[in-house]
């Protein structure tokens, strides 16, 4: 029989055997009976295996190899080789995945192919088969397996909207420290595979970080500046082996050493979205702090709302109950905006009406950015800063990211600042 008919029949036999391997392993015996018997003179087929297939009877001696294991995002090389007789002519390759979660093979028709290890919820084994043929009509095949490790940052398909994609960045907890001390920023709590780290300062007095590409970095704290900004903010970016990047921020507040006290009184604001801590400054804003702490001690704020959220500007609360029922506050206080404290990110100030600078009562706001236009200037009364968020600024930022709707308390009728779902201040209590 001529070589060309044998070659076609041999290809048909190999194709049917591949179907047996992939689809009907459990019925191997029954299906093998369906494979056509080649006429005399056509080389017989043999099952695929990891061992080289002998060259006798027209078979190519074929081998396949790859790394035994891989992690998500890693490019895995698949390599094959085939030995034929001197007059066998050119050798042709064809790669096929036969088991495991599907991947895209690059260069399926070459001896050297590759694929990228996928993101998997659990460790799985992927199997590949390479078939070979030559101009002389010889054929062979071999298999290889690669175990792909589970992705610690695996997110089910369709969950991208949850915001859970990528690794987890953890820049550490906010700190309140003394000027001249050495602070360590610790991002070692971040999670992911093959993480790379990048630190940067984003606000506050400029400092020099000991390292910007390590999990931990240190810096020397500047001295407290009575009329300046005493809060430094840093951002940590972590990038995993699949080049997925996320960020987290941490704040360091320089304590006011005046009056022999390292820190001012602190209160914990417990909300339905988490807690944050405010440190008040009675030295700079004595009347405002006294007024605020009086409401705290009376339990006035329990059950009130964060009723105004303006991303990139402020969150405001302390005056309304659910349903926008206004609580009855005490008397207005004198505006202490000319105290040297600035409306920087994380600072806490008293809310008031726009036309009366001495109208603040119980409502307060947290600045989400450096809002210098709210500061006191000659001829412009500004808004009185009386404290600073020293813990939980991440909670404040989460509140700033909620869904919003038109706020009926806004006189313009155009302000979209009322949270769609109530954010309730469960309590504000002193921290001993």
Q: How confident is the model at residue 67 (pLDDT cuts 50, 70, 90)?
A: very high
Q: How far apart are CA 35 and CA 10, in angstroms?
A: 10
In the predicted structure, residue 32 carries a pLDDT above the cut 60: no
Mean pLDDT, range 40-57, rounded to an integer: 40
State residue 335 phi and psi, 5-degree precision. -80, 115
Question: Is the fold of 3-148 the same as that of 165-254?
Answer: yes
Q: How confident is the model at residue 156 (pLDDT cuts 50, 70, 90)?
A: low
Selection from 219, 238, 222, 240 nearest residue 230 by Cα: 222
Q: SS3 of 247, please? A: strand
Q: What is the mean pLDDT of residues 219-240?
A: 86
Locus of tokens 């409401």: 295
pLDDT at residue 267, rounded to an integer: 95
pLDDT of the residue at 430 = 93
> Residue 79's pLDDT is what?
93
Task: Report the SS3 class of residue 426.
Answer: strand
**What pLDDT shows up at residue 400?**
94
Q: Does residue 413 register a pLDDT over 80? A: no
424: tokens are 């309730």
Strand 320-321, strand 112-116: pairing: unpaired
SS (H, E, C) 370-406: CCHHHCCECCECCCCEEEEEEECHHHHHHHCCCCEEE
Quickly state the pLDDT bin for 321 (edges 50, 70, 90).
very high
Mention the CATH class of domain 264-431.
Answer: mainly beta
Higher per-residue confidence, 69 vs 241: 69
Buried b (16+ CB within 10 A) or exposed e, 299-313: ebbeebbbbbbbeeb
Buried b (16+ CB within 10 A) or exposed e, 139-171: bbbbbbbbebbebebebeeeeeeeeeebbbbbb
CATH architecture of the domain 3-148 equals Sandwich (2.60)
| pLDDT confidence tier of residue 155, bands split at 50, 70 and 90 | low
Question: What does the pLDDT look like over 253-271, one tens digit per residue?
Answer: 887 664 334 468 899 999 9
> pLDDT for 81-129, tens place per residue?
988 765 667 888 889 888 888 888 988 889 999 998 888 888 999 999 8
Task: Give the pLDDT of residue 9.
Answer: 45
DSSP H or E segment with residue 249:
strand 245-254
For 168-194, how does the pLDDT look when each residue is reduced to its tens digit (9 = 90+)?
A: 888 887 787 888 888 899 998 888 878
Please tell me the distance from the alpha carbon of residue 42 to that of residue 165, in angstroms, as a whole number: 55
Question: Considering only the top CATH level, what class is 165-254?
Answer: mainly beta
Per-residue confidence (pLDDT) for residue 388, from 0 to 100: 92
Strand ranges for 73-172 from DSSP E: 75-83, 91-99, 112-116, 124-134, 139-148
208-219 mean pLDDT: 94
Q: Which residue has the higher pLDDT, 237 or 55?
A: 237
pLDDT exceeds cutoff 80 at 24: no
- Predicted local distance difference test score (pLDDT) of residue 429: 95
Per-residue confidence (pLDDT) for residue 270, from 0 to 100: 96
- How far is Cα 20 from Cα 45, in angstroms, rounded to an integer? 13
Dump pLDDT digits (tens) for 137-153: 788 889 999 999 988 76
Token reading at 379? 């001829």
Average pLDDT over residues 374-383: 93
Q: What pLDDT does 82 receive?
A: 87
Q: What percent of the chain has pLDDT above 90?
A: 46
| Residues 281-298, mean pLDDT to the nearest whole number | 93
Over residues 326-339, the pLDDT tens digits come to 999 999 999 999 99
To which H or E segment does residue 70 belong? strand 69-70
For residue 216, give Cα distances in angstroms to 199, 209, 210, 213, 247. 9, 10, 9, 8, 15
For residue 12, pLDDT beyond 60: no
Question: Hey, where are the domains in the chain?
Answer: 3-148, 165-254, 264-431
Query: pTM of the predicted model, to two decimals?
Result: 0.47
Query: Does the pLDDT at position 225 exceed 70?
Result: yes
What is the average pLDDT across 152-165? 51
pLDDT given at position 227:
67
- What is the C-alpha separation between 372 and 342, in angstroms, rounded? 7
Alpha carbon 107 to chain centroid, angstroms:
33
- Considering 175-184, 185-194, 229-238, 297-306, the range whose residues carry the highest mean pLDDT is 297-306
């Amino acid at each position: 029989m001529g070589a060309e008919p044998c070659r076609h029949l041999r290809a048909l036999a190999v194709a049917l055997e591949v179907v047996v391997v992939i689809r009907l392993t459990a019925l191997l015996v029954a299906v093998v009976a369906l494979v056509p018997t080649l006429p005399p003179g056509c080389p017989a087929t043999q099952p695929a295996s990891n061992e080289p297939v002998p060259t006798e009877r027209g078979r190519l001696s074929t081998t396949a190899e790859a790394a035994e294991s891989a992690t998500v995002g890693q490019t895995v090389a698949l390599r094959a080789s085939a030995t034929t007789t001197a007059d066998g002519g050119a050798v042709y390759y064809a790669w096929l995945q036969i088991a495991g979660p599907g991947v895209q093979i690059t260069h399926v028709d070459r001896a050297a192919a590759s694929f990228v290890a996928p993101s998997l919820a659990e460790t799985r084994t992927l199997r590949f088969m390479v078939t070979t043929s030559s101009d002389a009509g010889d054929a062979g095949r071999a298999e290889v397996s690669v175990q792909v490790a589970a992705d610690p940052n695996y997110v089910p398909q369709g969950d991208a909207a949850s915001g859970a994609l990528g690794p987890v960045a953890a820049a550490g907890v906010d700190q309140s420290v003394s000027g001249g001390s050495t602070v360590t920023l610790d991002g070692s709590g971040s999670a992911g595979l093959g993480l790379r780290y990048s630190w940067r300062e984003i606000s506050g007095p400029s400092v020099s970080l000991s390292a910007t590409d390590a999990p931990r970095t240190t810096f020397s704290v500047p001295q407290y500046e009575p009329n300046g900004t005493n809060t430094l903010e840093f951002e940590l970016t972590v990038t995993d082996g699949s080049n997925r990047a996320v960020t987290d921020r941490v704040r360091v507040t320089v304590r006011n050493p005046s009056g022999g006290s390292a820190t001012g009184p602190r209160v914990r604001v417990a909300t339905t979205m988490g807690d944050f801590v405010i440190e008040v400054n009675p030295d700079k804003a004595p009347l405002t702090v006294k007024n605020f702490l009086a409401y705290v001690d009376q339990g006035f704020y329990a059950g009130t709302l964060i009723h105004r959220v303006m991303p990139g500007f402020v969150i405001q609360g302390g005056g309304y109950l659910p349903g926008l029922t206004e609580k009855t506050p005490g008397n207005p206080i004198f505006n202490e905006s000319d105290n040297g404290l600035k409306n920087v990110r994380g600072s806490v100030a008293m809310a008031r009406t726009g036309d009366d600078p001495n109208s603040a009562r119980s409502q307060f706001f947290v600045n989400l950015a450096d809002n210098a236009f709210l500061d006191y200037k000659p001829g412009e009364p500004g808004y009185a800063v009386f404290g600073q968020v020293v813990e939980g600024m991440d909670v404040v930022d989460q509140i700033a990211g909620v869904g919003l709707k038109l706020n009926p308390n806004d006189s313009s009728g155009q302000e979209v600042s009322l949270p769609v779902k109530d954010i309730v201040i469960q309590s504000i209590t002193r921290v001993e």
